[in-house]
Amino acid sequence: MGLVKLTRRHIFFIDSFHLRKACAAAPPAGRQIHAISIHLGLDTIVFLQSSIIKAYSSTGNVQDARKLFDSISQPNHVCWTALISGYVNNGMPRAALDIFRTMQMERVDIDHVTATTALSACADVGDLEMGQWIHNYVRHHRRAGSRYKNDLILVNALVNMYAKCGDIGSCLQLFRDVRHKNRDVTTWTSVIVGLALNGQSEEALHIFTQMKTTQIKTKVGVRPNKVTFIGVLMACSHAGFVEQGVEHLSSMKTEYGLEPEISHLGCMVDLFCRAGYLYDALEFIENLSTTGKSKSTAVMWRTLLGASSLRGSVAIASHAMTRLHELKQQLADDDVVMSNTFAMVEMWAQKERLRKGCRRKRRTPGYSMIEVDSY
């Protein structure tokens, strides 16, 4: 706001360059900057308009970003990319791809930034066909000697897209085409997570070992980050490698100075539960609260509840239900899971008691209140 007030005070000395810098420095002031650009007659300058679109989008205001975009008579590729990026960054990948398709129909030039952003949207929605089209477009322009050549960010986006769309063959081929010394943490992480998500756990862990070996050999290699370890722990979970999972979680802090987050801890709970180590999972979740480092979550307890039900462990399932109740996160589906657990071990009386309790909950009437003039 201070920047905008300064702009208003010196309004006759401001040009589009200053307003573009203001958009980058203070995105929340996008609306005020937009108003100033209109007042100064600068609102037809396309590069300034693209900066304002970015400012709107970065604060979640994709509606005004779209309105501004639609008002531009001839938006250039920067404007198109800004809007596509805005939709992707605000969790609207399908809208982003709709804009990208329109961009193709309008025959607007697609540069490496546009391609990378659109590939991110393809990965989010699993649109392999569109991702392949972009890849073919990039390959064609590479052969023509364009700016697409040797762009690691674009390659990483392709690896990530193929991995998330389930085309592991293409994902691995792209990964192997990148020389070891040119791979960054995103390259390694994308393929590791992709392999883990597609059930190729041993290959994912093999790639992770290669990553660490490369680091040891070169002494300046790529260090894994927190997202890398999510992929590693998912791979351990799907393969049932409990000891390896425990070791990898420990190495995050001891070897790399990375503090495990809720997502990593949740992976460990999933690992214990999938392997049938229910008491280890229970102890792990309880320790999260007692150590003060983190707090157990409803998702963790619900994971344990489901695993306990599948294995007929009434004691652990009941404990998980108690914790969900204490967290005030108990759902109707949890009662169904608990009821099925009782049925599995033929505890019919307990099942009937729980069923009656569920009926009473459903019979509790709702009500509404209408207030008029505070009465």
Domain layout of the chain by residue ranges = 289-360
For residues 42 and 111, which has the higher predicted lDDT (pLDDT)?
A: 111
Mean pLDDT of 245-252: 97
Give the SS3 label for residue 92: coil
Q: How confident is the model at residue 220 (pLDDT cuts 50, 70, 90)?
A: low
Q: In a 3-state reduction of DSSP, which class is residue 258?
A: coil
Residue whose C-alpha is closest to residue 16's, from 54, 42, 39, 52: 42
Q: Given this model, what pLDDT does residue 131 score?
A: 98
Q: Which of 209, 179, 207, 181 is nearest to 193 (CA)?
A: 207
Q: Which of 290, 304, 228 is nearest to 261 (CA)?
A: 228
Identify the pLDDT of residue 246.
Answer: 97
Mean pLDDT throughout 254-262? 95
Res 230: pLDDT: 98
pLDDT at residue number 335: 85
Residue positions counted in the chain = 375
Looking at the chain, the whole-number percentage of residues with pLDDT higher than 90 is 59
Closest CA to 93 of 121, 130, 119: 121
pTM above 0.85, yes or no: no
Taking the C-alpha atoms of residue 213 and residue 151, their distance in angstroms, rounded to an integer, is 25
Half-sphere exposure of 186 (CA within 13 A, CB side): 10
Neighbours of 278 (CB within 10 A): 20
| Distance in angstroms (rounded) separating the CA atoms of residues 227 and 319 | 31
Considering only residues 357 and 156, tell me which one the structure prediction assigns the higher pLDDT. 156
pLDDT digits (tens, 9 = 90+) for 315-336: 999 999 999 988 888 888 888 8
pLDDT at res. 148? 59
Mean pLDDT of 344-366: 69
| pLDDT > 50? residue 366 | no
Q: Between these two residues, 86 and 290, which has the higher pLDDT value?
A: 86
SS3 260: coil
Q: Contact at 8 Å (CB) between 340 and 309?
A: yes
Residue 42 banded pLDDT, cuts 50, 70, 90: confident
Q: Is the pLDDT of residue 364 over 50?
A: no
Name the residue type at position 251.
S
> What average pLDDT does the structure give for the chain?
86
Sorting pLDDT into bands at 50, 70 and 90, what band is 362?
A: low
Cα distance between residue 209 and residue 220, in whole Å: 16
pLDDT band at 374 (very low <50, low <70, confident <90, very high): very low
Q: What is the mean pLDDT of residues 132-149?
A: 77
